[in-house]
Structure 1
């Protein structure tokens, strides 16, 4: 496991004293990286001994990477040990739609769904894809705990002066009035906005080479399935640290 401190920033934004918050961005089926991230967090908790520790996951747990099924198993096991908040990503939203509509299966496969199917031992033909058959096979293979997990995902999570969403928020719209679609899908005009949203928005969805820390938003998606790296944001009081696990460079 490789890890390094990327950035340590003191901000005006803060979370309650005594609390350590650990946020993880887009995992995309990279279960080994997630296990390494948990090891890093466990070491940090043992070293710093916070009064309370919570985990926040920013969505896109599935697709593209090699082991979506094990990723969900790891997340469920972690939630049994630590208070956790799970945000819905656009890939989870797509899967929920796929489980109801045969006509969306082909589009999902092009977005990385084939690796998710294979992780549940559902074979994906190279030609003549039968969307109805693949949907039925996945529905049968998906454990009830995984289906319940996907159904219970939330659009956002708030702690102190931070708002955690998958993709971002729409500038000019109060946080209480943000649409779930924007919070799962938006890129522009959010990424180029310099607006003070009222809270620091922590998000993923748009991969960056290194975590992007700004006064009004923090992007922690470092493209795990493509780069072999996963970022962990640690917040204590008004201090934010970002560490990565995986390959160096």
Structure 2
């Protein structure tokens, strides 16, 4: 089975579409026996077109069950804001304004009344299929020698016992851990200019919303390589 695991999209619908076009071209050319495309979360916030990203992913999931999308902290944060308009939330403070703008809504955090009004407008604008899609996202998946999640794992905790909070939020305790895990952990969440390839983990978050580069790890039997698309 060939696996493509791509990093944080953050509203870059243009890069997401380019990546899928590249992957589809490779699959048509090489005709692998089977394949999976794994998105590692953070589809919304910061970039210019979160709505188009979710439109694309909802349609992709309906089209082919071999496409897998995991939850990221910003995706969960979007749902939390839709449930409760709090100015202290991740969504309100870190990139939610761009997400709201992609739905034609101006997020106003100037006062609680203004925030509630813009929250109401956003609730009306967000398609029910987008909410249902985000609510249904799993926090991890495993295939062969690889474990896929958004942020990482709690070291020395069994993979099937990992807390959802760690899978979408963890940083230092995971990033600084040098011993091997039960599987190679493939993740995003912590951006770098280039993919990180270490003995125990692979990080494919190349800050797509700002750098214009979206990266994926490709695993095909003994072959492992990186695939990147640029704006």
Contact 1:105/1:135 (CA < 8 Å) preserved in 2?
Answer: no
Tell me, in whole angstroms, the C-alpha distance in 1 between the residues paired with 2:36 and 2:85. 38
User: Which of the numbers 14, 27, 35 marks the counterpart of 2:9?
Assistant: 27
Q: Which consecutive unaligned segments of at least 5 residues does structure 1 have?
A: 1-18
Partner of 1:209: 193
**1:142 deviation in Å?**
1.0
Tell me, in whole angstroms, the C-alpha distance in 1 between the residues paired with 2:189 and 2:125. 27
> How many correspondences in the alignment?
229
SS of aligned partner of 2:71: coil
Tell me, in whole angstroms, the C-alpha distance in 2 between the residues paired with 1:24 and 1:78. 15
User: Which of the numbers 107, 110, 116 marks the counterpart of 2:99?
Assistant: 116
TM-score calculated relative to the size of structure 1: 0.87
User: Which of the numbers 88, 92, 97 marks the counterpart of 2:75?
Assistant: 92
**1:161 deviation in Å?**
1.1
Contact 2:15/2:212 (CA < 8 Å) preserved in 1?
Answer: yes
What's the CA shift string for 1:4-53, capped at 9, x where partnerless? Answer: xxxxxxxxxxxxxxx11111110000000111101110111011101112
**1:95 deviation in Å?**
1.1
Partner of 1:232: 216
CA RMSD of aligned residues (A): 1.5
Q: Report which structure shows greater RCO (CA 8 Å, sep ≥6).
A: 1
Tell me, in whole angstroms, the C-alpha distance in 2 between the residues paired with 1:92 and 1:204. 13
Change (3 A) 1:225 1:49: same
Change (3 A) 1:155 1:104: farther
Change (3 A) 1:125 1:24: same
Q: Which consecutive unaligned segments of at least 5 residues does structure 2 have?
A: none
SS of aligned partner of 2:62: helix
**Pairing of 1:104-183 with structure 2 (within 5 A):** 104=87, 107-125=90-108, 127-128=110-111, 130-183=114-167
Contact 2:45/2:91 (CA < 8 Å) preserved in 1?
Answer: no
**Pairing of 1:10-25 with structure 2 (within 5 A):** 19-25=1-7
